[in-house]
Amino acid sequence: MAKVRTVYRVGGLKGEHCRGRIEHTLSDLPGVTGVDVNLEAKQVGISYQPAVISAGLIEETLQSLGYSIQG
């Protein structure tokens, strides 16, 4: 199955508790194969299978955790 990697600039990342919360929540989503949080760059990299999960659902999940996605 094809995989895609997307990197989001995320507002509201403050520390290790944010990293753990994002990694735990997104890793549990079906179709997500990898999550990498870079606190210094304020970025979240996500590898996923677009046939299983949409980028929109990933973005909604990040926002539901209280983070903003920056263009």
Q: How many domains does the chain have?
A: 1
pLDDT attached to residue 71 = 74
pLDDT per residue rounded down to tens, the chain (71 residues): 799 999 999 999 999 999 999 999 999 999 999 999 999 999 999 999 999 999 999 999 999 999 999 97
Query: What pLDDT, on a 0 to 100 scale, did the predictor assign at position 39?
Result: 96
Q: How many residues does the chain have?
A: 71
- Taking a C-beta distance cutoff of 8 angstroms, is the pair 28, 34 a contact? no
Q: Give the C-alpha separation, 22 to 7, whole Å.
A: 13
- Domain CATH for 37: 3.30.70.100
- Separation of alpha carbons 42 and 30, rounded Å: 24
Domain of 30, in residue numbers: 4-70
Q: Which amino acid is at 46?
A: I
Q: Coil, strand, or helix at residue 4?
A: strand
